[in-house]
Every structure is written in C-alpha cells, then in structure tokens.
Structure 1
Amino acid sequence: MDESGAGSRRMGHSPLSRRAGSGSATLDLTARRAAATGGCDEMRFRMLGPLLVRSGAGWTRIAAGRQRLVLAVLLIHAGRTVSTEQLADVLWGARPPRTAANTVAAYVMRLRRVLGGDALLTRGSGYELAAGEGEIDADVFERSLACGRRELRRGRLEAGAARLAQALRLWQGSGPALADLPETPVLAARVAHLEQLRLGAVEDEMGALLDLGQHGEVVEELRRLAEESPLRERRWELLMAALARCGRRAEALETYQRARRVLRAELGVEPGARLCAAQRRVLAGDRMEVGWRPAGRPETERRPPAQLPAGVAGFTGRAGQLARLDALLPAANAPAVVATLTGPAGVGKTALAACWGHRVRDRFPGGQLYVHLHGHGERPPMPPAEALAGFLRALGASRVPADVGEASALYRSLLDGRRVLVLLDDARDAAQVRPLLPGSHGCVALVTSRDRLTGLVARDGARPMALGVMSDREARDLLTGLLADRAAADPEAAMELARLCGNLPMALRAAAANLTSRPHEGIAAYAAALAADRLGGLEVDGDPHSGVRGAFDASYATLGQGARLLFRQLGAPGPADVTAAEAATLIGGDVAAAARLLRELAAAHLVEEHATGRYGMPDLLRVYAAEKASGTGPARSRRATSLYGAG
C-alpha cells in the first residue's frame, strides 16, 4: 500500500515537529533528525525500500538482478544457512539449469567482492549472511518499533512517539520492502510482515500524538492516511477523534459515513464495532479518548502478559534444536503455528522451550503466556478450563466462562490481532491442549510433552520435534559449566560421569548438584559410587522428587497395565533391542498385541524405535525397568530365559 503520509514524516514533516511557527519547527525537526539517524553508521544493509549495501563509496545497489535476489534471500534469513537448492529454486523455479550450483557459487563470489569476505559464509552445501546487531535496517526498525511501543505502554508518550518516528524514518520512500525485486514466495512473507508493521507503526504514532494533544497538527495527515488506505478502519477512527477534538463534529460524522460507504462498496460489510462506537461517542459529545493502542485492545490489555518461566542457569548446547525452532517463526500475517517438543523425562524439554522463548520474546509484542499442565507427576493433569481461566485473567478478561468451549472462544477472541507466544508445558495428551491453541495470525503455540502427541500432528497440523539426550560434547560442556575447575581438573572422570548419567540433562544436573554440595568429594569417587547404584546416586540430596527415579516414576504411572508389564520385562539382561515377536514371547501374548504395547511405550518415550520394527531402551531407563521388575517372580525369569538364554 502507498504510504506517502508515512513517507512525508520520514522526510521531516512529522506533526511532532510542527508546533509553533516555522522557526521552532525547523529547530525541532533538526533534533528529531539527529535522533532518527542514530545508529545508522553501523548499518550495512538496507531493505526497507530498494535493496542497498554499504561499500567504501557509500550506499550501492547490486546491479545484476539475480545476484540482488540471492542477496535478498540471504538477508531475510540472516544468521541462518540457506541451501544452494533453496537459492536455485528461488532463481529458476522447478527447472534449474544443470549448472545451478556452480552459478549460485559464482553469484556469491561476486557478492563477496562487494560485501567483503566476512559477510557471506559457506556452510556445508549452503551459505549464510553474517550480520551483526544494527547492520540490517529492518531489524533496527523492528527493535525501534518494539521500544517505542514499550515506552507508550509505560505512559511515556513523547519518548514513544519519537521512537516510532525514528523507526519510520528508516524506510526509503513510500514503497514496500525490497521494492526493486520481483515478487517471489520466499520473500513475500517477510515483505508483507514488514509492511503490516509499518502500517501499524503509523497508526500507533498518530494515536500517541493525539494523546499528546496535537489533534490540530495531525488532522490533515490522518485524512490523507485514511484516503490512502481506506480499508483500515483504525485510520478512520483516529481521524474522527482528531476532528471531534478540534470541534468539527459534523466533519467527524461525515467521516464515519464516508468510511461506511467505502467498506460497503469494497467489502460488502458494515463498519466494525470500534468505528460504530466512535460514531456514538461523537453524537454524544464525548472527547474521543482513542489513545495510542491498536484497535480492539481494551484498557486491561495495555501491559502484555510476560509469563515465561526463568531460563535454566548454565543452559548449554542444543544449537541445532534452537535453529529449528527459529525456523518455525511465522510472519505477522501468516497462520498460527503449533509445534510439539517431545522426549523422555529429564531430557530438557522445558529448559529448551524457555530458553528459546526468551530469545524470541521481542517477536511477540502481544505477550507470552505459560502454563504447567502437570501431564506427568503427582498432581492430576490440569483441566483445560483451569488453564483457560489463568490465560483469560492474564489477558484482562472481566469474566471467565465456566463452559470450556465458551472460554476457549473468548480466549481466541482476546488473542485476535495480537502476536503471542503460548508455551504449554508438560501436556498429557492432545485433548488437554486443543482448547488452549491460539487461532490468531502470527501466534506460536509450543507444546512440551513426554507423549508424542500424534493427534495434534494429524488433526491440528502441529509440527513435531523430538528431543533426545545430549551429545557427548554437550554433556561434557554442561558438566564443565556446572562444576568448573573440578571437571577441568579431571576430564576423564567427568566423561565417565556423563556416560553413567546417560547424557541425560536431568541426571547430569542432579550429579553436579550433589557434587557441589559435597566439595571434598572428587568426581572419580562420586562416579565409582554411582556405578554401583545408578538411580540412587542420582537422587538429589534433600529433594527426592527432583531426581531421575521420580521423573521416570511419573512416566511409568501413565502406562496401561499391559505396557507396564512389557516395560518391566524389557529390563531383563539381553539384546539391546527387540521386535514385536520377541516382545510377545516376553509377555506371553500375541505379536499384534505386543506391537501395540511397543507403540504405546514409544509414544511415551520409554522405548525408542532404533530401526524399523526394533525397539530398545536408553541405558538409564533399562536400569529403571530392571528395578521395577525386581519383584515380578519366576514366571518372568522363565520367559526371559526362553528368549535371552541363561546368561
């Protein structure tokens, strides 16, 4: 959409600068220009308008169209690897030439000559644009916009309006982002997201200026903005408020009729609730306190919820998983994303989800919601109605419906138009989660569970992500971070300790906590004692519920009787994995029933399907299964012997 009104502000005609005559306006404008250009010296890439790069000679346009397209794709994925195959798909679609990989490499080589060798990195079979903080104008725009809105929420209207003006001045002209590039699907989402942010920023700035009492200064600009984007009802509402405050009630009412005619002609709809309410307020002679807030936000929502749990101290590793989560982030106008993060007890699902949530919280200006659903543990699973009640109160609802369906509908209504991260921790099953899923564009729901939640994937389009134990290097780094000099002084003992912990984060942290509370005990001595009692040695002193055995108990408690029996049988000494036929021998049942029980155990992450049809247990779980089976009697021994032999 054409934003010449916003563009004129960026050229120095913001209403905040037109206060009292030309002399004072010029002085004010100079100060605002200085503020608006702060930090631009570090900028290397401009995409808010035509694509430009900073070189020794100043700002330069990449002349070759395909090289410019390659740079644009790398730019919107800055900090992440883009494969050669992805680049070829953007450049040539479904029919790339045979020399596509070499041609892409040649384009990258030419770009490096302009950008310098440190900007474009080769990563395996792809490339990464390495850009520091403040080097991409779009990133600076989004940070300035978020900062401006925070200032407004705190009631600092002048500062907020100034930061919004600073953000908007980063745009070059009135065209869209990447204005000199062809429309392609891979760029379209980012371009549309930035355009929606710009439109919202213009309206937020106008609302702030109205709150500052500058209705006389902004009224004509609001008229221009409403005519340029006549389907954005917020602009008509702001214009009506400015006219009413100027004492021009007749014009305000005519503005409503003009908006109504446009909406009926273009969309076949009547004005929305807020615009109708604005007309009623004008008729009643109200002052029209519209404020800076985006349309549809009641006063109780002015401070977004920030419910994420604290990040785990010393969080280590998981770089690949964090990158996969980053790839889930939708554009503001894209449908809501649901993702599942599943894995066995103690693998670090909540820690990873919380760490990622804090990393990307600025991408969710509507807030972050969190609830522990108690899917596995001593407490019964939390009913969806209870979780919804907490969310509705956090979102400022004045009432909480008793009916789950009605509460869920109100929850989705309150999320409409907001970009919110919803972290649903420790879910029992898909039915517990469904009423809590957002429907608003730009939202993300991340669900952690020990269950695979296959129903969410099949029915709700959730994107599954399985989390396993740490790699040897990650486990070593975690112990080094937790035990510092003690781990560095005896690295072999630390690696043996990691092995005995099965590289399971909960076990590693329990061992490190115990060693920290016993400063005179060496790692080697602790590891030797742990080898004799793997689960007992991983109980946390004074807090048995934080130990590994307690976490495994909670998963075991969710199983049916048949699955419990098979789980205990799998703790017997013998092969590392079994088939359904071998499992049937263990429990004295038929193969089909054993296959169902194995799938139940796999869904609960109590066994792993290493290869098609072959299931095994991680080391610590096998120890736990053997412990659970210790009192099952001679029948087990006969069946186990028939399969595994006496040894």
Structure 2
Amino acid sequence: MEFGLLGPVEAREGGRPVDVGHARQRAVLAALLLEDGRPVSVDRLVDRVWGERPPLRARDTLYGYVSKLRARIPIERRPAGYVLATQATDLHEFRELVRQARSAPAAQAAPRYDRALGLWRGEALAGLDSPWFAATRDALRAERKAVELDRNDVVLDLGGHVALLPELLARGQDDPVDERLAAQVITALHRAGRTSEALQHYEHLRRSLAEELGADPGPALRDLHRELLGPEPAVPRQLPAPQRWFTGREREIRELTDTGSTVVITAIGGAGGIGKTALALHWAHLHVEDFPDGQLYVNLRGFDPAGEPVAPGAALRGFLGALGVQDPPQDLDAQAALYRSLVADKRLLVVLDNARDSAQVAPLLPGGPRCTALITSRRQLLGVITEHGAKSVSLAVLDEPAARALLTSRLGDRVAAEPDVVRALLELCGGLPLALSIVAARAVTRPDLPLAVLAEELAENRLDALDDLSSSLRTVFACSLRVLSADAVGLFGLLGLTVAAELSLRSVAALAGLPVARTRALARELESAHLVQQHVPGRYRLHDLVRLYAAEVAPADDVPLRRFVGYFAATAYAGDRLIEPHRPPVDPPAGEPVALPDVPAAMAWFDGEYESLLAAQRQAVGRRWHDLVWVLAWALTNYHLRRGHAAEDLAVWREALPAAEALADVPKQVAAHKFVGMALVDVGVYPEGLAHLGRALDLVDDDYDRAGAHRAMAWGLERQGDLAGALAHADAQLTLFRTLGIPVRVAEALNDVGYRAAKLGDHARAEACCGEALALNRELGHRDGEAATSDSLGFIAFRHGRADDAVRHYRYALDLYRELDNSYEEASVLRHLGDVHADLGQPDDARACRRAALTLFEAQGRVEDAAEIAHLIG
C-alpha cells in the first residue's frame, strides 16, 4: 500500500484508490504517516486533528476513526500510542530524490529534482485545517521552495535559462523580496539578452526590501548588480532607508503627493520627535520611481546638540560630488549656480533634513521644473514658504489607532496581551512618535520586562523613563529652545508653571506680566518652533511631554503663578457680580481682571476659561493660597448654578471648606458648609448634605447669613421629601429678610414659601405669596426672581386645574431663563411644561419638551432627573 501527502491525503493499493474516509479520518492517517513509524499518543492525535476546539467526546471519536482505518491499513496499537510503520509515502520518495540530486553532478541532478517536484499534486495535506496541519503545511511549502531554488541553480548552470525564465518571472511576482530567487531571475534575464529588464528587477527588489524590511540587498546580489551595470555612470541614491515601523500619516502623505504644481518645495514642520524625517523618507521611497535621475539627501543638523549646523557650502560640495563634479568652485554662489545647472533638466528629489532656518536651505533648492525638494525643520521656515512658494505640511501627534499600530509593529503579540497597560503607555506617550519609539526600543531590548513595569516608570517620571537610550526627549526639547530669543525661552518656562489643558492669550499675558501685544509676539515665536500650538485663535496648548520639560526649566519664583491665579480669581469675581448683582459682595481678590461689559460676556468668559479656572484653584490649593481657593469657589457658584454643574460645584467647595477653616474665617466657613451641603443634596447625597447645611446654621452669627442658611436648609429638605420641614425653614427665612428690610431677598423668600405651600396643598397662601413676589421682582427689575416666581405660578395654576394659565406662566419663565443663559433652570421648566402638555392631551408637545429637558439633564449630570424623564418618554 502507498500513501500520498503532497496534495490531498490518499492511499492506493495495487494502484487502486483506497477509501480512507472523511477529512477528520484522513487527518488521523496523515498525523500517523508524518511521524515516519514513531508512536503517537491519543492526546497528541486529538490535538493535531482538532487543535484547541476538540469535540466533547474527542477520544471516543478518535478511537472510532482509528478502528475504521485499521480495517484496511496496518495501524498498530502500542503502549506509547498508535504506529503506522511505512516509508511508502510520496514525501519520503521526494526527500530521497532530493538527497540523491544534491550529491549528483548537474546533468544527473536536474532530472532527479524534476522527478521530486513532479510528485507534488498541489498543496501538501490539502483539506486538513487544524493549526498543527497548517504549520506542517507551511514547513513543507518552504522545503519545496528550497528544492525549486536548488533545481533552478542546476538548470541555469546547464544553460537552460530560456526555458526556465517564464517560471522564474512568475515565482518572482509571488515572492518579490526573496534575494536568491531574484538573483536567478536577474541572471536568466541577463543571459537571455534582456539586461535592462534585469536591472529594473534589481531596482524593484531594492525598493521592496527598503519599504518592507528597512534593509538593502545582500552582498551577493549587489555584486551581481555591479557586474550588470558595467562602466555606466552611477545615479545618486542617497536616501537613507525608510523607517521600518512607519505608521499612519495618510492625510499628510496625500498632502505631499497632491502638489498641484510642477515645482514643489515642501516644508514639513513639527516639534522635535514628531516624525518629520520618518514621513519625508517614507514619502520619498514611495515615489522613488518618479525620480529616475537620482535622490540627494543631507542632514543639515539644524538642531544637533553635539555640533553646529551644516554650512550650505559643505552641503553643496557633497551634492556636487554625488553628481560627478570632482573639483567644485569655492564660492558659495558659484557652487549653487553649478548645482542648479546640473539638475536643471533632471527628474531629481532633494531631501533637506533637519533645517535650522530659511537661509540655510535657500542655496540648496534646485531650480529645475522637474525637481522636488522636501525640507524638514522644527521651525516654520516662513522665508521658504513666502519667497519660494513652498507648501507647508505641519505634523500633529499620532492618533490612538496609529500610535497603537506603531507599538504593535515593534512589539507584536505583547500589545494584545496587555491591553490595559498598552492603553496607559499610549496615554503617557501622548502620540509623540519619538516617545513611542523609545518605549518600544526599551521593551524590545528587555523582552523579560513586563510592559506594566515600563508603564509604572513612565507614570512616575516620564522624562526620566524616556531619557536612557541614544534618543533623549530632554535633548530634543533643549535643542528647540536654542534657536529662540531669551524672552521666548523665559515665557516657555513660565508656561511650565501652569497645569491647565489650554491657555488664553490674556491669561498667558497675566502669567508673564507683559502687555498682550508683546505676549502674542513671544507666543508666535514659540508656535513657530512648534513648542506650543494655537489650535484656535487666541488659545494655546502644549503637548504633555513638552509641558513636563517646560516645568523642569520653569522659574522657582511663585510671583508669576500668583499673578496668573489672581487674574482668574479677579475676573471670575467681576463676572459673578454681573451675573448676580444682588448678591452681597465679599472682599475682591488681588489681581488684574479682564473687562467684562455685560452678562453674556461674563458667561462666555466663564465658558471659555472654565477648565483653566478649575486648574487655577487646584494650583492655589497646592500652594496653600487659602484666600484664592475660597474666592474662586465663591465666584464660580452662580455660573455652576446656571450651567447645572453640581458635581463641579461640590468639588470646588470641598477645597474651599478647609481653606476657610485655615483662615479661621467664620462667615467663609458658613458659606462653604452651605454650598457643600447644597451640592451634595443636588447629587443625591442627602444625609451628608443636610449635615453640612445644619452645620452652617449652627455656625452663623448674623441674621442675613442665618436667613440664607434657612433657605438652603429648606431647599435640601424639599429635595429629601420633607415638605413641612422645608416650609418651616422657608418661613424662618422670610421673617428674617422682612426684618432686615431687603426687598430682593423678601421677593425670593415669598416665592420659596409660596412654592412649598402649593406642594402641601395650601393653594390660597401659595398664590398670595407668589403674586406678591412677582410684583416685587418686577418692581426691582430682578429677572432671575421673576423667572423663578413665574415657574412657581405655573405649578400653582396646574395644581388648580388651570392648564392654559400654567402653560403661559411656564413659557414666560422659559423665555426669561433662556435670556439669562440659565440652562439649569431651563431644564426644570421644560420638564414642568412637558407635564402640562401631557395632561392637555398634546403628546407631541410633551415629548418635545421632555426630550429637550432630558438632553440638558444628561449634560448637567442630573442622574435622577434624567432617569425619571426618560421613563416618562418611554
């Protein structure tokens, strides 16, 4: 009996096919045959046949397969497993013929190789699909390929290149980076009189190796290429190999390619470590065929920490030498003129890497209409852009998918194995290619080092962790500072004092203590060096790693930062006075506020500077500037109320409470307890919130603050569901404010009493109180109070069964809150209005109001309100 493995698995007896069953049964037979007479255990057979997903009764199933095979095939059962002792396989015959061919003279070897290769009927083990069979099939495929290459060498030695060439060309297309196969193709083409095609095949291989592997052809292939070239003049090919692990940048590659002009000078800008050179070389190798007359490259070392930039004359002499000029002129202008003459009619690519400034690159720009220059620099090179019409392509950091792809290309399966750690590494590197490359290099050189350890090092001190190989982020950033003016370097250090994600021009001016115009000029210098980014007009941000370096070179003096935080505190104080002019003022903080003409301007300023305001308070906390910590919380309260930022209000007042205690200022402590309590109640933490509100009542030592504490306690108790308690505190508040004779507070207190009375069913008192409140608010011009009272009157009318009046009151309140830009109360009124429309049998109007309210509730983090209204919407 004979067996076939070099194709579909088969058996023949006396030349006739033997039925060996379905695919799984054939897999059992093949697994035994491939062991060449060695026993195979049941467990190993199960693993080979099914891999990691065996059936539930795999062993029983296997026994059944073996039993059926043993009916026709002599399979033995031994203690170590099953054995099929035979060498009657086409694989064994193939290997024996190859062994004979490799020891025979060429004339006898060729037919043996052909007989061996003729035994293959297709893919080995065809139709068997487990991982073990796939790996075995790959190994057999590699074994066959090696034999084919051996056969090709013999046939070429015997002069059979013409007959062999079609097969070689087809194989070369399937495997374009196999250097041995390429040498055979090139040899056959050359011997067939097709030397130009042979040279083209070599060039195609060279590019494929560079793009796919970042490597050059080996010595044997280079020697063969030189033999074919003979005495022809060399074309300059100075491009360094592209970065093997280049990822992303699809948009920038399109920008470089879509030039729209025959003369293209592209300045690729970006901060140090952003990947400018990698992009330039990647694009250059992608388009190398477009420049058959050669590619020139020079590293101008514009920001080299170890030496001075390359002089234009030195770079020109290198270019002229590559173009065949043995004795170039000494004068720079003459060198440039000769250079431009030599390349005038050529299709040539010139890569000017790491340029310091426009003056350095101007003499190196080719003048020919078919030439292209790529320039990389950390500066914007405005002279090249304006005087030579260069197209500017600026690089940002890599996005998360591209950054992950870069790590995956270097680290392989380790990235998928530790997803949470890799996510942390990506965040710590901030998409900066140099940082990612350093992390990858450390991981590659230490395969035993868990990525989690590397992430811990980065989290502790990112710049130290990225500063231990030949690449150093500190050195890269320091070199960028070398080209700046002293004032710009000083401003860069000051930016390191801040922690806000982005900064307005006015806040930077406050930090620097400079006029806005001077600050803008220095910021422009930093922007030109790609150390800051003006992502929207008048607002600047730094990459996290750049910010860390700025912090290292920041001055030790706290005066600039105190001035910076003071600017935010003073402007927030002024903005709050506009938003709520009836609020009793506290002592204004020291600082230079920006002018805010009206309430919309104040709200716009709070919106734009909100994250910076929170960051300013965090920095004040860290430096124990208690007065600024407290006043920032105080100045943010009404803005938080209008925007529904309950959680954020809680956060700032939690910091302000210990600040007030450190100041030993009782009124500040009362305010802090009151606002912490209200914020806790607003986010649903009732016991702790009411405890703080009670503490405010205990501490208060004047009637005005006591009335305010009663008002807060009434609100908290109402939210908890204690309406009677809420009304009692509201009455106490009203009595105190009437005694103090403060009309605006009396109006607010009347509305509070009226609303709670309505909730308790005392509609007559409710209507009387709210009517008096509405008249008083209108007399005082108190729009907030008028809006709140109109909302209460809508509720009262709805409870009385006067739905049309309720709609009118709610609509009026809604218009006022929108005019006041108070989105928190706008959401509440929309919810009430939706209830009325639903009661009136107007489902479309009800749904529209409730959906608008839900959107605002979700944005404001009002979880309970959002859940309730979502249930109503259905």
| TM-score, length of structure 2 as denominator length | 0.39
Which residue identity does 2:257 align to in structure 1?
A: D
Identify unmatched segments of 5+ residues in structure 1: 1-33, 43-132, 135-150, 165-291, 293-298
Which residue of structure 2 lines up, in the alignment, with residue 418 of structure 1? 346
Which residue of structure 2 lines up, in the alignment, with residue 326 of structure 1? 257
The answer to whether residue 265 in structure 2 is matched with residue 338 in structure 1 is yes
Q: 1:156 to 1:387 in 2, by over 3 A?
A: farther
Q: 1:162 to 1:487 in 2, by over 3 A?
A: closer
SS at match of 1:572: coil
Which residue of structure 2 lines up, in the alignment, with residue 284 of structure 1? none
Which residue of structure 1 lines up, in the alignment, with residue 399 of structure 2? 471
Which residue of structure 1 lines up, in the alignment, with residue 297 of structure 2? 370
Alpha-carbon distance in 2 for matches of 1:320, 1:162:
35
Match for residue 385 of structure 1 among 288, 291, 313? 313
Once the two structures are TM-superposed, the CA of residue 160 in structure 1 deviates from its matched residue by 5.2
Once the two structures are TM-superposed, the CA of residue 585 in structure 1 deviates from its matched residue by 1.5
Which residue of structure 1 lines up, in the alignment, with residue 241 of structure 2? 310
Q: Residue deviations 1:474-530, cap 9 Å, x none?
A: 111111111112211011211110110111110001011112222232112211221
The answer to whether residue 506 in structure 2 is matched with residue 581 in structure 1 is yes
Map 1:536-615 → 2, pairs under 5 A: 536-541=464-469, 543=470, 546-615=471-540
Which residue of structure 1 lines up, in the alignment, with residue 415 of structure 2? 487
Q: Residue deviations 1:189-209, cap 9 Å, x none?
A: xxxxxxxxxxxxxxxxxxxxx
Higher relative helix content: 2
Higher mean Cα deviation, 315-324 or 341-350? 315-324
Alpha-carbon distance in 2 for matches of 1:566, 1:161:
60
Alpha-carbon distance in 1 for matches of 2:345, 2:283:
23
The structure showing larger relative contact order (alpha-carbon pairs under 8 Å, at least 6 residues apart) is 1
Once the two structures are TM-superposed, the CA of residue 413 in structure 1 deviates from its matched residue by 0.6
Q: 1:457 to 1:549 in 2, by over 3 A?
A: same
Q: Residue deviations 1:417-436, cap 9 Å, x none?
A: 11110000001111111100
For the 8 Å contact 2:493–2:553, the answer to whether it is kept is yes
Q: 1:158 to 1:401 in 2, by over 3 A?
A: farther
Once the two structures are TM-superposed, the CA of residue 377 in structure 1 deviates from its matched residue by 2.1
Once the two structures are TM-superposed, the CA of residue 459 in structure 1 deviates from its matched residue by 1.1
Q: 1:163 to 1:574 in 2, by over 3 A?
A: closer
For the 8 Å contact 2:276–2:376, the answer to whether it is kept is yes
Match for residue 549 of structure 2 among 607, 624, 629? 624
Alpha-carbon distance in 2 for matches of 1:510, 1:398:
41
Which residue identity does 1:540 align to in structure 2?
A: D
Once the two structures are TM-superposed, the CA of residue 608 in structure 1 deviates from its matched residue by 0.3
RMSD: 3.2
Alpha-carbon distance in 1 for matches of 2:465, 2:566:
33
For the 8 Å contact 2:507–2:564, the answer to whether it is kept is no
For the 8 Å contact 2:513–2:560, the answer to whether it is kept is no
Match for residue 530 of structure 1 among 455, 458, 463? 458
Once the two structures are TM-superposed, the CA of residue 162 in structure 1 deviates from its matched residue by 8.0
Which residue of structure 1 lines up, in the alignment, with residue 324 of structure 2? 396
For the 8 Å contact 1:580–1:592, the answer to whether it is kept is no
Percent identity, aligned pairs only, is 41
Q: 1:156 to 1:578 in 2, by over 3 A?
A: farther
For the 8 Å contact 2:403–2:436, the answer to whether it is kept is yes
Q: Residue deviations 1:136-190, cap 9 Å, x none?
A: xxxxxxxxxxxxxxx9xxx9996457899xxxxxxxxxxxxxxxxxxxxxxxxxx
Which residue of structure 1 lines up, in the alignment, with residue 751 of structure 2? none
Which residue identity does 2:233 align to in structure 1?
A: R
For the 8 Å contact 2:297–2:350, the answer to whether it is kept is yes
Match for residue 510 of structure 1 among 438, 443, 458? 438
Match for residue 386 of structure 2 among 454, 458, 478? 458
Alpha-carbon distance in 1 for matches of 2:380, 2:517:
21
For the 8 Å contact 2:271–2:531, the answer to whether it is kept is yes
Once the two structures are TM-superposed, the CA of residue 578 in structure 1 deviates from its matched residue by 2.3
Match for residue 642 of structure 1 among 562, 566, 571? 566
Q: 1:476 to 1:335 in 2, by over 3 A?
A: closer
Map 1:192-203 → 2, pairs under 5 A: none
Once the two structures are TM-superposed, the CA of residue 641 in structure 1 deviates from its matched residue by 3.3
| TM-score, length of structure 1 as denominator length | 0.53
SS at match of 2:266: strand
SS at match of 2:462: coil
Q: Residue deviations 1:597-629, cap 9 Å, x none?
A: 000000000000110111111111111111111
Alpha-carbon distance in 2 for matches of 1:384, 1:326:
27
Map 1:53-202 → 2, pairs under 5 A: 159=194
SS at match of 2:434: helix
Alpha-carbon distance in 2 for matches of 1:161, 1:447:
33
Once the two structures are TM-superposed, the CA of residue 534 in structure 1 deviates from its matched residue by 1.0
Q: 1:628 to 1:162 in 2, by over 3 A?
A: closer
Which residue of structure 2 lines up, in the alignment, with residue 350 of structure 1? 277
Which residue of structure 2 lines up, in the alignment, with residue 188 of structure 1? none
For the 8 Å contact 2:397–2:433, the answer to whether it is kept is yes
Map 1:281-292 → 2, pairs under 5 A: none
Alpha-carbon distance in 2 for matches of 1:343, 1:590:
28
Q: Residue deviations 1:540-591, cap 9 Å, x none?
A: 34x3xx1211111111222111111111111123432223322221112111
Which residue identity does 2:354 align to in structure 1?
A: D
For the 8 Å contact 2:312–2:363, the answer to whether it is kept is yes
Which residue identity does 2:485 align to in structure 1?
A: G
For the 8 Å contact 1:336–1:438, the answer to whether it is kept is no
Alpha-carbon distance in 2 for matches of 1:163, 1:551:
44
